[in-house]
Amino acid sequence: MFGLAIGHLSILLAIPVLGAGLLLFTPRRQTPTLFALALFASGLDFLWSMKILQLFDGKSGDMQLVERVAWMPAFGIQYIVGIDGISIFLVLLTTLLMPIAILASWSVQDKVKEYLIFMLLLETGMLGAFVALDLFLFYVFWEVMLVPMYFLIGVWGGTRRIYAALKFVIYTMAGSLLMLVAIIYLATRYAQTEQALTFDLLKLYGLHLPVDQQGWLFLAFALSFAIKVPLFPFHTWLPDAHVEAPTAGSVILAGVLLKLGTYGFLRFAMPLFPDAALAAGPIIVALAVIGIIYGAVVAMMQSDIKKLVAYSSVSHLGLVMLGLFALNLQGVQGGLYQMLNHGLSTGALFLLVGMIYDRRHTRLIDEFGGLWKQLPVFSVMLMVVTFSSIGLPGLNGFVGEFLILLGSFDVRPLWTAAAATGVILGAIYMLWMFRRVIFGPLTNAANEKLADLNSREICLLAPILFLIVLMGVYPQPFLQRMQPAVELTLKRMATITATPVTTDHGTRRESKRDGR
Amino acid sequence: MDVNIMPLLPTVQVLLTALVVVVRDLFIEEHQPKGYLAFISLLGIGLAVAEILGLWGGQEGAFADSIILDNFALYFSLIFLLAASLTILSSIHYLRQTGIHEGEFYALILFATVGMMLMAAANDLLVFFLGLETMSIAVYVLTGMWRASERSSEAAMKYFLMGAFATGFLLYGIALIYGATGSTNLNLIGDFLVEQPSDWPVYLIGGGFLLLVGFAFKVGAVPFHFWVPDVYEGAPTPVSGFMAVAVKAAAFAAWARILLHKLSPLDTDWVFPLWLIAIGTMTLGNLLAVTQSSIKRMLAYSSIAHAGYLLIAIVVGEEWGGLPLLFYVSTYACMTVGAFAVLTCVAEGDDAHENYRDFAGLGFKRPFLGLAMSLFMLSLAGFPPLAGFVGKFYIFRGAVMSGYIGLAVIGVLNSLLSVIYYLRVIVAMYMEEGGTEGKSFGQAPYVYIAIALAVIGTIYLGVLPAAALNWSREAFSALD
């Protein structure tokens, strides 16, 4: 089979590009064909990722389905891709959200062809960043992602799209270019100590650098990822980009792109520079907690629903960072779980906001009220997603938040307590928004003729809602597959740092929770 | 004396082609079509490229080693010929539109190329100087060839005065070095420097510095960059592209062979000034590029900034900077020639259509031009997986490898600055409305071919750079 020659992950990366290539040669007038093609390519990629999940061995923490091809052999640059328990679900999240985002783009009428091409290229960029195991390759995908997103915001965005798009690119590049220097320096140090040129992540993990060098390198990596997350105070690009982006762009931006920041911490910044990560822990946690509370407070003050959701992302991702830097199993696992939760619930929130915007051409909370009677299906969906977002037990958000707080409480009880108040604030602004939009009397006459969700919209929300419930009541299949990889990452950090990381402790807690 | 003329073969080939073009031009009636002169030129260039590929790997000296045809010279000759052929392709339509004399134009491009090839192969300061003058005089004339345009004449005048000034510096530097070492042959000068590792007369170092200033003028490095924007803006657009790429590449070729390699024992004296020049060139070039409203002028400043990146490789020294320098020149050639070709395609003869607002909506009116220009801009800004990124990556890698981490950091911050103005072109093309139509493929087919070739080069060098990197390595290691 040709799968032997080209590995599974390469096919995963190739499908969207091939789809984009087909689109390039499709006449631009045939809008339905264009959509069908894009949907087909992204759907096929989703099915392919399911096949990868099937092949994936959840008991192993190692990289799987690894492919290595020499790319620039003289400089030790290789094409290495692989997947483990940390990246597999993020890959699945990407492949799941992409067809949904394309299906949600029905309202795009202008320049559909280019729009869909950029969406598919974006998918390859994101997937590539999740599976790349060579730092050079990772950097390439990391930057490649920027270009389609830049176009998506800049061409199909709102009124301040050009400003938002440029800000997005400049912020992201500011971080990533310094990371490039750090990557080069890291490879240089490896070349000096091991006499071999390589950008292979798995080999670079074994490099033990002195603490002061780790500090600088960590700083460069962390800056790049912190901007992407975004960690307070690097978040200012996010509200602009989110608000101006078209619906599908916001879904992908919030659902997947932000995860690349947290993923970057977990995959690169932390295990490559464990001492520095440990030393920087308190600062990052402080920024994360400030972000949680600040994001929540600012979200509460917003009159525009989309802006509210955007600021809630700052708050939620702060929570993810809190979990990651607890550096124990529950914390990291919770953080990883919360990444998926945020991808699903915020993705769904942006979709719902987009649907209501398509009908009313406004997103101001004051314009709505009493939609319950007029739009029952919409209201129910918004309710489920709101509950997921605030972490109601029984839905996915709870599992993630609980694990994060549990893991973090062991290490930093005070900061965790502060973060917990942020979670409460989150419940307040979400429920308040929900009440103002859905309940109360239907006073605004413009809302009286609104049509409820059509079958296409229900279809594209259904898988997300299904997962929200599934991940809430039955998290075990997910957590189980994450665990070995997370443990391996923590072990990597622990063997290098002298400080013991409470993995035993963590496992005990974990089993206790399972037995509950 | 045994005269080996093999090393001159490609150069003579191009020279003969130029003469054929000039002579044939004389016998064409006033209003007859002259387009096929371009194809004669392209044919000659094609033959020269074939000869170069055949000679690759050899190393032969001629005329008492005052010319050495090694891989280094061949590599740069390829870049010059490539730039010349793309320039010719993109000027065929432009010349008819502006009424510039075709025969002389192609011949002058070829004469300039001959000069450049001599510069890359020169192993003697005097041969280098001859090559430089052959190139420069041809390019002065090319700049002023559009006689109907005042800007063109002004640019030619400016370029000529500034160039003559720079030539003076170079010649004086050569004289001082000759006085100190007793030779103009680079091998003998190199031997002298090795045999007497210290205790050099002041005027030797002074001569080195004068050479440095001369080169800095030619590549448009800060603080000797003032002529660049005006000259590039005023010159006919294809000529601007040719200057930005080939002239700059030729100056860097000579710089690499003479200062970076042969006179490298002197470099302890000039490393710090060069470091300053590199930083100044990058930063000032990028800062001023941001403020431009004309894309042609922006590209001029961008070429200054790129000279700054190349200077990083020079500062880094031959061990870590040589290969990146050569590779970067080839990536820079593809994307810059391409960008100027797109500009040629959009401009309507007169100077009115070179501003950002003229590009508004181009991405949807002329999808191919928009796509190509986007690729060139993204590549110039250093986005992977395009040529510009790989080039920059190796330059910064060289800097980090040899301990110039600060320089690498300033370099990447400059790249960030450059993103602002390169993306503005894309903003105009895709996110704004209005502007000019641009020419369709039917109106100017050859420019489209030139652009397509540049696109292929930009993508190829970005995605599969291994082969080109290998060539750069073979070329640089050919310097003994």
Residue B53 forms contact with A (CB below 8 Å)? no
- Residue B430 C-alpha, separation from nearest chain A C-alpha, in angstroms: 6
Residues comprising chain A, all counted: 516
Q: Which residue has the tokens 């990889």?
A: A485
Structure-token pair, residue B405:
């981490």
Say yes or no for a CB contact (<8 Å) between B412 and A178. Answer: yes
pLDDT for the residue A376: 86
The dihedrals phi and psi of B122, each to the nearest 5 degrees, come to -65, 130
d(CA A420, CA A423): 5
**pLDDT one digit per residue (tens) for chain B, 480 residues:** 566 778 888 999 999 999 999 998 888 877 777 778 889 999 999 999 999 999 888 888 888 888 888 999 999 999 999 999 999 999 988 888 888 888 889 999 999 999 999 999 999 999 999 999 999 999 999 999 888 888 889 999 999 999 998 999 999 999 999 988 888 988 888 888 888 777 788 888 888 889 999 999 989 898 888 899 999 988 999 999 999 999 999 999 999 988 888 888 777 778 888 899 999 999 999 999 999 988 999 999 999 999 999 999 999 888 888 899 999 999 999 999 999 999 988 876 555 578 888 888 888 888 899 999 999 999 999 888 899 999 999 999 999 988 898 899 999 999 999 999 999 899 888 888 877 777 778 788 899 999 999 999 999 999 888 888 889 988 988 887
Most B CBs within 10 A among A115, A149, A177, A227, hence the mutation to make, goes to: A177
The chain A residues in contact with chain B (CB within 8 A) are 71-75, 111, 136, 139-140, 143-144, 146-147, 150-151, 154-155, 161-162, 165-166, 169-170, 173-174, 177-178, 180-181, 184-185, 187-188
Say yes or no for a CB contact (<8 Å) between A144 and B385. Answer: yes
pLDDT for the residue A3: 41
pLDDT for the residue A507: 42
Contacts A111 to B, Cβ<8 Å: 364
Torsion-angle region of residue A362: left (phi > 0), alpha (psi -120 to 50) or beta? beta
pLDDT for the residue B351: 54
Nearest chain A residue (CA) to B431: A155
At A96, the amino acid letter reads: L
Distances (CA, A) of B21 to A170, B26, B28: 49, 9, 11
d(CA A307, CA A362): 12
Residue B428: other Cβ atoms inside 10 A? 25
Contacts A73 to B, Cβ<8 Å: 466
pLDDT for the residue A510: 42
The dihedrals phi and psi of A135, each to the nearest 5 degrees, come to -60, -35
d(CA B300, CA B274): 21
Half-sphere exposure of B460 (CA within 13 A, CB side): 12
Q: What pLDDT, in 10s, does the model give residues B22-63?
A: 998 888 877 777 778 889 999 999 999 999 999 888 888 888
d(CA A441, CA A64): 56
Which residue range is the domain that position B31 belongs to?
6-477
Give ipTM to 2 decimals. Answer: 0.89
> Which of A492, A74, A438, A424 has its CA nearest to residue B472?
A74
The answer, yes or no, to whether the previous bond of A282 is cis (omega within 30 of 0) is: no
At A357, the amino acid letter reads: Y
Contacts of A450 (CB under 8 A, 6+ apart): A359, A360, A371, A374, A375
d(CA A249, CA A238): 12
d(CA A139, CA A129): 8
Contacts B401 to A, Cβ<8 Å: 184, 188
Most A CBs within 10 A among B394, B422, B426, B460, hence the mutation to make, goes to: B426
- How would you classify the pairing of strands A64-72 and A77-83? antiparallel
- Residue B352 C-alpha, separation from nearest chain A C-alpha, in angstroms: 25
The dihedrals phi and psi of A382, each to the nearest 5 degrees, come to -60, -35
Contacts of A390 (CB under 8 A, 6+ apart): A397, A423, A426, A427, A430, A431
Asked if B74 contacts B55 with a C-beta cutoff of 8 angstroms, the reply is yes
Answer whether residue B134 is part of any domain.
Answer: yes
Answer whether residue B112 is part of any domain.
Answer: yes
Q: How confident is the prediction for chain A on average, in pLDDT? A: 86
Q: What is the DSSP string of B119-145?
A: HHHB-BHHHHHHHHHHHHHHHHHHHT-
Q: What is the DSSP string of B354-415?
A: -BGGGGTTHHHHSHHHHHHHHHHHHHHHT-TTSHHHHHHHHHHHHHHHTT-HHHHHHHHHHH
Q: How many CB pairs under 8 A join A and B?
A: 81
Asked if A294 contacts A314 with a C-beta cutoff of 8 angstroms, the reply is yes
| Cross-strand partners of A304 | A364
Q: Which residue has the tokens 């950002």?
A: B356
pLDDT for the residue B2: 61
Rg of chain B (C-alpha set): 21
pLDDT for the residue A5: 62
d(CA B430, CA B375): 13
> Which of B221, B440, B476, B203 has its CA nearest to residue B345?
B440
Residue B290 forms contact with A (CB below 8 Å)? no
Rounded to the nearest angstrom, the gap between the alpha carbon of residue B16 and the centroid of all alpha carbons in its chain is 23
At B121, the amino acid letter reads: A
Measured over all CA atoms, what is the biggest interatomic distance in chain B, rounded to whole angstroms?
69
> Which of B99, B91, B377, B374 has its CA nearest to residue B237?
B91
Roughly what angle, to the nearest 10 degrees, separates helices A413-438 and A396-411?
Answer: 160
Contacts A75 to B, Cβ<8 Å: 394, 397, 469
Say yes or no for a CB contact (<8 Å) between A74 and B470. Answer: yes
Asked if B163 contacts B243 with a C-beta cutoff of 8 angstroms, the reply is no
Structure-token pair, residue B49:
């490229």
Q: Which residue has the tokens 């490898």?
A: B401
d(CA B56, CA B29): 41
Q: What is the DSSP string of A322-365?
A: HHHTT-SHHHHHHHHHHHHHHHHHHHHHHHHHHHHHHHHS--BG
pLDDT for the residue A495: 58
Q: Helix (H, G, I), strand (E, B), or coil: what is residue A515?
A: helix
Half-sphere exposure of A199 (CA within 13 A, CB side): 30
Asked if A368 contacts A437 with a C-beta cutoff of 8 angstroms, the reply is yes
Contacts of B406 (CB under 8 A, 6+ apart): none
At B330, the amino acid letter reads: S
In the predicted model, residues of chain A with pLDDT beneath 50 are: 1-4, 496-516
Give chain A's domain count. 1
Which residue range is the domain that position A410 belongs to?
2-515
Residue B284: other Cβ atoms inside 10 A? 18
d(CA A187, CA A177): 16
Answer whether residue B30 is part of any domain.
Answer: yes
Full-model pTM: 0.90
- Residue A255 C-alpha, separation from nearest chain B C-alpha, in angstroms: 24
> Which of B184, B180, B182 has its CA nearest to residue B201?
B180
Sign of CA pseudo-dihedral B317, B319, B323, B324? negative
Contacts B426 to A, Cβ<8 Å: 150-151, 154
Say yes or no for a CB contact (<8 Å) between A170 and B470. Answer: no
Give chain B's domain count. 1
d(CA A327, CA B128): 63
Answer whether residue B1 is part of any domain.
Answer: no
Smallest Cβ distance to B412: which of A151, A177, A188?
A177
Half-sphere exposure of B332 (CA within 13 A, CB side): 33
